[in-house]
Structure 1
Amino acid sequence: MNTKIVIIGGVAAGATAAAKARRTSEDVSITMAEKGRYISFANCGLPYYTGGTIASRNSILLHTKKTFGDRFNADVMTNTEALSIDPVKKTVLFATEKGQVETPYDKLLIATGAKTFIPKIEGIDTVPYFTMRTVDDADGVKAWIETKKPKSALIIGGGFIGIETAEAMLHCGIKPVVVEALDEIMPNLPRIIAMNLREKMVSDGCDVVIRKYVKKLTQTDRIHAELSDGTVIDTDLVILCTGVRPATELAAAAGVVVGERGGILTNERMETNVKDIYAAGDVVEKTNLITGKKVLMPLAGPANREGRAAGCNMAGGDMVFKGVIGSSVVGFNGFVSAQTGLTYEQAIAAGFDADYVYTEDVNTSSYYPGHGYIFMMTVFDKKTGRLLGLSACGADGTEKRADEAAVAIYAGLSVYDLEHLEFCYAPPFASAKDNLNIAGFVASNSLRHTGFTVTPEFIYEKIKKGEKLQLLDVRSAPEHKAYAIEGSKHVFVNDVRNSTDKIDRSQPVYVYCAVGFRGYLAVRSLRNLGFEAYNITGGIEAYFRVKKIS
């Protein structure tokens, strides 16, 4: 007797599971039911379709009901909502366009995904607003733009979708205003990284409001948004990008265990606590491979891999999904912010004896025309040197360095290993010493106690408290004249050996350059000459970033 596989939900996890189940066996029957009209579409492409970067609507529709059904010999039902699961009878009650249908299963996958979190805003039900989760959402925004001709758009939420939607509005000639209640946009990133993205957005014509939330919405001729501080923003279009929550109600009603984070708990085979019921995608909690703890991570990559494992196992195969590291990227008009692994705060919270270094280097060879810069924060364990995380922002290629770091983290490499990794090199693509190599050099020197680094946060706090520090700027004279850390002396790096009379031997000297390399050279010279010298990691560029967010 053929195994009856029923999948609730399509898109990343559900559709992938169905496809993998069929590739695993021809001797199973597959039924996939999707609540919406589209069973397989590119969620992550919706803002780019809305903004016109993706011109064709068909480009984001990866499969239709017919093409998927024909290719994978599956019974595909759209506009079909699962109402309940009976794990004893092993049936699912569906509401279809023709009425309710009870469908039996041998193996069941819950891939109900996540739903947009709608914040408690006074008056939100009295004004038109949109979300950006489905094809219908994107269609609605595009239709509103075409018919209403809005001049401005209020985007509530400064996460991935909020940033991408803001960029889309700019491309449509609409003034975006992003309101984020937390201290900074992109709260998954360190503030010193996210701040740069916000500055890029503002410089390109987007208004960004942080540390305030939308309290009330009203409408006359326009929509009026009252913020928590009493400020009122008038707008023509409201888009909620306030994050998502796992859609677990159906699963919980069937006795499936939901974890502390709010997602379904599964084992590595994507099996739940209920026999023959599996779960995958945004509805599921994942295991963080670095900490071993459960996390929510509503991203397409993990959802696809979970669906693949579940589909294989339901069809009689054997596959596991090990967990996640937490790799993500977002861009705004060519400026890239990427993250993998743990931030410093997350590493400390997880119990690691963590430290970090800042580096900033070119994305190609420095002599290659059009090069840009990548600012990175590399997090590692002080006891073992294990690489724990990397956050970066800057020019094209930023995401490549995060990907490199993700592989290193997955492999359990240390910052000492980063010194020796061999990457592709040619002037248009990278330097002979890749950005991740340099991060390894700086972090390893710190651990070996040969780099003598201090953080810009350490320096800033001492200056803020009014402490007198001996600060030495070793950049060129024009650089020092343009801007410098308050109270610093200037000696060019090449002149340090012959200018020791300008430096007080009786107290520590804190050295900085632009991004850290010249400072390191000067510190090594001064140390060799008997000075207690320290290099400010990341240089003055990191220092001013710290100052801005403090």
Structure 2
Amino acid sequence: MSKKVIIVGGVAGGASAAARLRRLDETAQILMIERGGYISFANCGLPYYIGGTIKERDKLLVQTEEGMEKRFNIDIRVNSEVTKIDKNKKEVEIVSGGKTYKESYDFLILSPGANPVVPPIPGIEREEIMTLRNMEDVDKIKGYIQKNRPKSAAVIGSGYVGVEMAENLKELGMDVLLIEATEQILGVFDVEMARMLEKHVVDNGIKLITKDAVERFEGKNKVEIVLKSGRKFSTDMVVLSVGVRPENKLAKDAGLELGERGGIKVDEHMRTSDPYIYAVGDAIEVKDFVTGVNTLIPLAGPANKQGRIAADNICGKESIYKGTQGTAILKVFDLTAASTGSNEKTLKRMGIPYLKSYTISGSHAGYYPGAFTMQIKLLFSPEDGRVLGAQIVGRDGVDKRIDVLAEAVRHNFTVYDLEELELAYAPPYSSAKDPVNMAGFVAANILKGDMKVIHWDEIENINKDEYFILDVRTPVEYQGGHIEGAVNIPVDDLRQRLNEIPRNKKIIEYCKVGLRGYLAYRILIQNGYEVYNLSGGYDIYSAATSKINSKIELNDEMTHIEKKTEETKSEKKTIKIDACGLQCPGPIMRVSKEIENIQKGDVLEVHVTDAGFTSDIKSWCERTGNTLIGVEKSCCDYTAYIMKGKENSNNTGENNKVIEMPEGKTIVVFSGDLDKAIASFIIANGAAAMGRPVTMFFTFWGLNMLRKDVAPRVNKNFIEKMFGAMMPRGSRRLKLSNMNMAGIGPKMIRGIMKKKNILSLEELIEQAKSNGVKLIACSMSMDVMGIKKEELIDGVEIGGVATFLGEAEKSNMNLFI
């Protein structure tokens, strides 16, 4: 007698299970129940249909109801919902078109997927606020855009779908705001890798806000988004993309066992707690392949495989699912980001020992046109070198490398195995040492002790008295930006200048990406120094530590260069430079050399494939007194236009082009009085709300408002302890400059502020940090007053007078309070 199988859900896992069942058993009775109106649609392609990359809606329909019924002899019922499972009777209740009926089964496969999370935010029910999960959702969004022609949009949440939606709405010409409640976009990536993507998103014209959540939606004609920080933004439409939750209600009501994360619990055969019911896809909990713990990983690839495995076991073929490692890839404008296995955050949270390495390699041989760099982060076991995870960001060739590394994770390869991989090579496709090989070489060097490394996130906490930071790049690169306190000795001069390097300190040395740094490491280590190489070089360090400026003006500067008129071209000589294929420091050195040979006002048109050059050249121009007119991107390279010298004539250049004047604001906070502190932060937040960069420099008594309320354990001498005891600890203990009245005054002013709904000083400080205000504590004042870095609140930088003066030069207003 033939078996009857009912499948709940007709997308991804459900459709794969149905097709596999039919291929294995021609006599089986297969019934597929789909709540929506479509089966087997390309949900991963929905954002690209909205953005216009996918032109025809029908192309999203991988398989139609009619086509699948005819080819596989399956009974498919769309717009039908299974509302109840009776395990004992082995039957389900189905609602369709207002009618309710029952169907029996021999085996049941649950593939209901996951629902978009819709948080209980006031005003969220507005029609302009939408989610994206299925064809009905995409039709609603597409229809809204065609009908209302919105000029602006906000995307709430920055996972894969959120970033894809932001990009595609931007491609439609909208002004797009991307809001993320946590500290970074794309949480599956570690923060330093995500920072590269954040910068790229901003460079492509998207306004980005992180570490701020939506409190409510208001407004009449437009949607007004009110954030927790108090900031408000108006927009024409909103797409919610704050995550998904497994659709478990049907299983839960039926008494099936659920996992700790709320997903349906299954064994390695995809069987639930009921032996006749299987479950697959986004609704289930899976075993993390690397850590072994149960988790939720909603991805299309695993869902399809799970559907096949469930079908195999129903048909008597022993088949097991070994876990999900989360291999995923994402297009972010012209960059690609991909990951596989565990990230560092997960390993750290679970207490799993790991080591990490960073490598920056070309997508193919540098001498062949069109080579672009990619950053690879590799995580591996300190015991045996087993590959635990990897993340890659680059423009070309990322997909190939992440697939190789995914296989390495799946088959328990070590970093030594990566060294030995024989991968296809020809100049248009790779290098003789593939980027995966290079990642293996560097990781193996670390594991074997051939190279001691330090990472970007450890630099901030080192004792500067014990370490000497050495920059082995060229002077031109050093001039374009460097780690604070670093001394510049180019690697080619290192052997002749060893006498300039102290032997009583540990040496941290770095170059741009790591290669010259490793050469310097080998020179120094063999000359008796204790040396640490900064893994990933200055590129990774600067990417991870730089603040992302989300002002649209910067985006316009970096992506939309105004086309010069014929008159301007005739007045200015343009010299073309082909620096494609050159890796660091080639492009910047070429510019430095060529600009010496041209006249003031002449323009260099520089073609490069090194994506990092677009950031390097901006800093280089600022520090050398030259003008970056703009940067263009094409499918094959980047083109930078650099004019020798600065524009002239009273803030207006040729063709009445307005020259950008300094817009920053600097505030020296000397006073430790409560009222002056409140005024300082109100001014700072006001300037930041206007889109101006703000730096607050805290010196002497002003440092007290940055101290933590609870004193951490730190080593201090007697005088330092006396200072600490006599000074107010933290913002809550500050006095008023007038009417202090033995401490009554501050309490009164705080009470009035609360009654008037005015933010407290502590809230103003948090708002300033959220707004990107730079808080700098004067290092000299800290030394004099015996204040240690550990005593300061989070988010405060340490700097000297040179740091402050550097910020002041970028400002048009400086206040002393």
TM-score (norm 2): 0.66
**Partner SS state of residue 471, structure 1:** strand
Moved more, 126-135 or 185-194: 126-135
Structure 2 counterpart of 1:540: 538
Asked whether the 8 Å contact 1:92–1:103 carries over to 2, the reply is yes
CA drift of 1:211 comes to 0.6
Aligned mates of 2:66, 2:263 — CA distance in 1: 31
Counterpart selection for 1:497 from 495, 498, 505: 495
Q: Which amino acid aligns with 2:292?
A: G
Asked whether the 8 Å contact 2:326–2:339 carries over to 1, the reply is yes
Q: Which amino acid aligns with 2:530?
A: E
Aligned mates of 1:428, 1:76 — CA distance in 2: 47
CA drift of 1:256 comes to 0.7
Structure 2 counterpart of 1:531: 529
Q: Which amino acid aligns with 1:11?
A: V
Aligned mates of 1:131, 1:350 — CA distance in 2: 33
Moved more, 5-14 or 449-458: 449-458
Aligned mates of 1:398, 1:369 — CA distance in 2: 17
Aligned mates of 2:465, 2:6 — CA distance in 1: 67
* 1:330 pairs with 2:291: no
Q: Which amino acid aligns with 1:514?
A: K
Structure 2 counterpart of 1:104: 104
Matching of residues 342-421 of structure 1 within 5 Å = 342-421=342-421
Asked whether the 8 Å contact 1:290–1:388 carries over to 2, the reply is yes
**Partner SS state of residue 358, structure 1:** strand
Asked whether the 8 Å contact 1:170–1:176 carries over to 2, the reply is yes
CA drift of 1:548 comes to 2.7
CA drift of 1:370 comes to 2.4
In the alignment, structure 2 segments of 5+ residues that lack a partner are 548-794, 796-817
* 1:243 pairs with 2:243: yes
CA drift of 1:467 comes to 4.3
Matching of residues 190-269 of structure 1 within 5 Å = 190-269=190-269
* 1:521 pairs with 2:519: yes
Matching of residues 432-451 of structure 1 within 5 Å = 432-451=432-451
Q: Which amino acid aligns with 2:407?
A: V
**Partner SS state of residue 274, structure 2:** coil
Q: Which amino acid aligns with 1:368?
A: Y
Moved more, 399-408 or 88-97: 399-408
Aligned mates of 1:49, 1:126 — CA distance in 2: 23
Aligned mates of 1:481, 1:548 — CA distance in 2: 16
Matching of residues 284-363 of structure 1 within 5 Å = 284-363=284-363
Asked whether the 8 Å contact 1:6–1:32 carries over to 2, the reply is yes
Structure 2 counterpart of 1:485: 483
Aligned mates of 1:542, 1:85 — CA distance in 2: 53
* 1:62 pairs with 2:62: yes
Deviations 1:269-290 (A, max 9, x none): 1111112001001001111111
Asked whether the 8 Å contact 1:85–1:254 carries over to 2, the reply is yes
Moved more, 307-316 or 230-239: 307-316
Aligned mates of 2:546, 2:479 — CA distance in 1: 20
Hey, which bits of structure 1, 4+ residues long, moved more than 6 A?
A: none
**Partner SS state of residue 21, structure 2:** helix
> Which structure has the higher relative contact order (CA within 8 Å, separation 6+)?
1
CA RMSD of aligned residues (A): 1.4
Q: Which amino acid aligns with 2:317?
A: G
Matching of residues 26-41 of structure 1 within 5 Å = 26-41=26-41
Deviations 1:401-422 (A, max 9, x none): 2211110011101111111111
Count of aligned pairs: 548
Moved more, 88-97 or 420-429: 420-429
Moved more, 312-321 or 42-51: 312-321
Moved more, 140-149 or 503-512: 503-512
Asked whether the 8 Å contact 2:131–2:137 carries over to 1, the reply is yes
Asked whether the 8 Å contact 2:128–2:236 carries over to 1, the reply is no
CA drift of 1:445 comes to 0.7
CA drift of 1:104 comes to 0.6
CA drift of 1:348 comes to 2.9
Structure with the greater alpha carbon radius of gyration = 2
Asked whether the 8 Å contact 2:193–2:544 carries over to 1, the reply is no
Aligned mates of 2:243, 2:379 — CA distance in 1: 26
CA drift of 1:526 comes to 1.3
Asked whether the 8 Å contact 2:30–2:74 carries over to 1, the reply is yes
Structure 2 counterpart of 1:134: 134
* 1:270 pairs with 2:295: no
Q: Which amino acid aligns with 1:481?
A: Q
Deviations 1:281-316 (A, max 9, x none): 100111111111111011101110101111222233
CA drift of 1:349 comes to 3.0
Question: What is the percentage of aligned positions where both structures have the same residue?
Answer: 38
**Partner SS state of residue 336, structure 1:** strand
